[in-house]
Amino acid sequence: MTKTILTVDDSPSIRRMVRMTLQDAGYDVIEGVDGQDGLEKATATRVDAVIVDQNMPRLDGIGMIRALRQHPNGQGVPVVVLSTESEDNLKQQARQAGALGWMVKPFTQDKLLAVIRKVVGP
Amino acid sequence: MNDDLTAVFREEIRDLVESLERGLLDLKTRPQDAGLVNQVFRDLHTIKGSGGMFGFVALASFIHDFETAFDRVRSGKAQVTADLIRLGLAARDQIPALLEGAPDPQDIRGSILRALQALTSDPTAVPSMPDLPRLTFCLTGPALALGARPDLVLTELATLGATDIMAVADTMPALADLDPDTCCLTWTMSMPATVGKADIEDVFLFVEAEWTLDMAVNNAPLPGVAVVSADVSAATTASPAPAVSASNEAEATVRVPATRLDTLMDSVGELVTVEARLTELARQSCDPSLIATAELVTRLAGQLRDATIVMRMVPLRSLVARFRRLIHSLSDTLGKPVEFIIKGEETELDKTMIEKLADPLVHILRNALDHGMETPAERQAAGKTGEGRIELSAIHAGGEVLIRVRDDGKGMNPERIRAKAVERGLIQPDAQLSESQIFTLVFEPGFSTAETVTEVSGRGVGMDVVRRTIESLRGSIDVESRLNHGTSVTLRLPLTLAIIDGLLIDVAGEKYTLPLATVQEIVELPAEKSQASLTGDFLDVRGKFVPFVRLRTMFDCDAPLPESQNVVIVEAADGCIGFVVDHIIGTNQTVIKQMSKLHSGARSISGATILGDGTVALIIDVPQLVALARPQGDLVKELAA
């Protein structure tokens, strides 16, 4: 079964880049334009993984993860946080909120694909 | 370690050794095939891993060095050469002895390993480490709730070369205390020494885990350890991870000792007999509910029979592996390079049959290579390629399996065979024989035309044994040959030995069974032919001339003739032949019972079966009966001429 990945980012170019990379590799991709939109999409349908940016309007990444983990549909979904900064404090917070891992921007398509494969399998 | 598990282990090793040998031999033709090198490496790796786990330390350490050599090939630091394959095969031959714990006083193993090492080593190589570091890890925190997938982790570790992966269930709480978001299993596995901490950190990049990489090795399995099997399926997830073992079966399989299958087959045989009796009794009782039940039993018994037969089927692959090896070493010994092609090795046959086929096929293959194949010089002179070609193929055809050995050698010379047969007193000098009859003479006892007796074949024993074995399996042999173009020997074999579909017939009040697979059709005997005559024993079946014999005459019966008789037309070695019988009773499931030794001289009878009413019907051995009938037919032909 094709796996569905939700990418949540306020930057259309990042979303597009994630979409192209993952679709080429055979995943289905849905997009969320900010944390609130992402949360609604992640709870409305079952997704296999979520890639989420930290800094977004309305609801930031960590806030979205925290809310997602409260929702029944958000249990056990691997979430990877994208962040420009790699400070340990943020990683710690993300982990506590319920993120599985993080990726530091900028990243290459190969790296993204490797991460997704690691998290949800090929 | 309990005995069952050890038995499974030994069987596993046998399969692996077979796969290893096949891989090595295939490497000979495709030395650049990285997939093959990997397969060989994987087989070795698994043998080593399982060997170590089951306490075969000597085996594990031997294989480790063997594996090291192939690791160098795998990483491109050494090349696949004929020497490497030769040494690899020699090393493979040591595995059974190592399993048995046989001593090695002449240090053959050591010298093989040293040669292997010399062949593949580079000066910077570090001395091998027989024991591998052991990685232990568990997922901590609410890993599962965060979406961590232990199966993916295990897969990733497997790609790094993890073996002996075991799940430790010691820390598993009682069901009531089980938190579904916590992963309670701990895994432990051997990692190749080349894998460093950084590699493992990379695997656990996204997973909260505690792990240790322990250099000390504990060969004894931990108590309370659940063996996850080589397939690395994670106990906590439903989705199976890709397998590390080469034999990646999608479906679960169970290994069962062959004797249990034999017992099952015997019971099914008895059941079929009892079922026939039940049907007969039900028919006599005229009780509709009993008849309905009996019909149900009949159907179930049929299904059970089919299921049991299928269960006993094994692919020919298990048998042909040793042939690759045989051809490989024979072609070296004889200096006749050949390409050995195997087709249809997935074709399935009864297990007993497969075991009994080994020797006949070895004889046929040896003959093909030793007698059939020319030397490269002779081949070039005949305008052929220097490398010969021997093909072993197997296909299902109806209720039979055809196994064919075809070579492109010099073919058989009918004149020479004839002359030899006359010289040996096998036939009369003036005997009229067709070409195919002449070819079958090579299966006569004491026949051999090889000018010199070689180490390989030519002693004139063998081919007659071949025919005897095949006939004891209710099979037959056809030989086709064209001078300078090659020979093909075809074995026709039934699918199973224990139960056949039979056609029950009546001859002068006695019941007989013909194997239904041999029956072509049944026609009525025209009234004008009902009396025996010397010249008229032919039927015109849709324009085809079919000779027939009267079973009454053959079995010496003089009961009064019935009003009408039937002719059962069967397929024989050279065309069709009809048997005149009194009545056709019907088809039945024939459970074959062997006749006693006292009856072993009754050539036209291959066994007996017990019918529903408790009486016995003899099973007719069609090829033998046809052979027995032939003199009569020939007499008829001569008189007709």
Residues in chain B closer than 8 A to A99 (CB atoms): 146
Residue-range domain boundaries for chain B: 1-129, 130-235, 262-314, 316-494, 499-638
Chain A closest-CA separation from residue B207 CA (Å) = 7
Task: Give the residue from chain A lying closest to B152, CA to CA.
Answer: A121
Name the 3-class secondary structure at B625.
helix
- Residues B333-388: pLDDT tens digits? 888 888 888 888 888 888 888 888 888 888 888 888 888 888 888 888 888 888 88
A114 CB neighbour count, 10 Å cutoff: 14
Question: Are B633 and B297 spatial neighbours (Cβ–Cβ below 8 Å)?
Answer: no
Task: Give the residue from chain A lying closest to B153, CA to CA.
Answer: A118
Chain A closest-CA separation from residue B164 CA (Å) = 22
**Cα–Cα dist B640/B423, whole Å:** 31
Task: Give the residue from chain B lying closest to A80, CA to CA.
Answer: B206
Q: What is the pLDDT of residue B2?
A: 54
> What mean pLDDT is predicted for residues B263-282?
86
ipTM of the complex, rounded to two decimals:
0.75
> What mean pLDDT is predicted for residues B160-169?
80
Q: What is the pLDDT of residue B47?
A: 81
Range of the domain at A30: 4-120
Quick check: A76 and B145 CB within 8 A?
yes
> What mean pLDDT is predicted for residues A76-96?
77
- Residues B132-157: pLDDT tens digits? 778 888 887 777 777 788 888 888 88
Nearest CB to B147: which of A79, A95, A115?
Answer: A79
Quick check: A121 and B152 CB within 8 A?
yes
Question: Are B51 and B59 spatial neighbours (Cβ–Cβ below 8 Å)?
Answer: yes
Domain count, chain A: 1
Q: Long-range contacts of range B313-316, CB-CB < 8 Å, 24 or more positions apart?
A: B313/B348, B313/B349, B313/B350, B313/B351, B313/B495, B314/B348, B314/B349, B314/B351, B314/B354, B315/B345, B315/B346, B315/B347, B315/B348, B316/B344, B316/B345, B316/B346, B316/B347, B316/B348, B316/B349, B316/B354, B316/B394, B316/B403
**Cα–Cα dist B582/B507, whole Å:** 5
Determine the topology of domain B1-129 in CATH.
Four Helix Bundle (Hemerythrin (Met), subunit A) (1.20.120)
Q: What is the pLDDT of residue B504?
A: 92
Q: What is the pTM of this model?
A: 0.45
Amino acid at B605: I
Nearest CB to A101: which of B155, B206, B239?
Answer: B206
Question: Are B442 and B436 spatial neighbours (Cβ–Cβ below 8 Å)?
Answer: no
**CA–CA distances in Å: residue B145 to residues A52, A73, A74, B620:** 17, 11, 9, 70
- Residues B167-185: pLDDT tens digits? 887 777 778 777 777 778 8
Look-up of token digits 């099973």: B619
Quick check: A98 and B145 CB within 8 A?
yes
Chain B closest-CA separation from residue A95 CA (Å) = 9
Residues in CB range of B113: below 8 A, 6 or more apart:
B62, B65, B66, B91
**CA–CA distances in Å: residue B487 to residues B75, B391, B414, B500, B567:** 44, 11, 12, 32, 36
Determine the topology of domain B130-235 in CATH.
Alpha-Beta Plaits (3.30.70)
Preceding peptide of A57 cis, ω within 30°: no
Query: Considering only CA atoms, which of A70, A71, A77, A75 is closest in space to residue A51?
Result: A77
Task: Give the residue from chain B lying closest to A91, CA to CA.
Answer: B206
Chain A closest-CA separation from residue B147 CA (Å) = 4
Q: What is the pLDDT of residue B235?
A: 37
> What mean pLDDT is predicted for residues B429-442?
80
Nearest CB to B148: which of A69, A100, A121?
Answer: A100
The percent of residues in chain B predicted with pLDDT above 70, rounded, is 85
| The CATH classification of domain B499-638, taken from the options 1.10.10.10, 1.20.1420.30, 2.60.40.10, 2.30.30.40 | 2.30.30.40
Strands (E), B13-109: none
Residues in chain B closer than 8 A to A118 (CB atoms): 152, 156, 205-206
> What mean pLDDT is predicted for residues B580-587?
90
Answer yes or no: CATH 2.60.40.10 is held by domain B316-494. Answer: no
CATH code where residue A83 lies: 3.40.50.2300
Q: How confident is the model at residue B458 (pLDDT cuts 50, 70, 90)?
A: very low
B139, B144, B146, B202: best mutation site toward chain A, by most A Cβ within 10 Å?
B146
Residues in chain B closer than 8 A to A119 (CB atoms): 147, 149, 152, 206
B15 CB neighbour count, 10 Å cutoff: 18
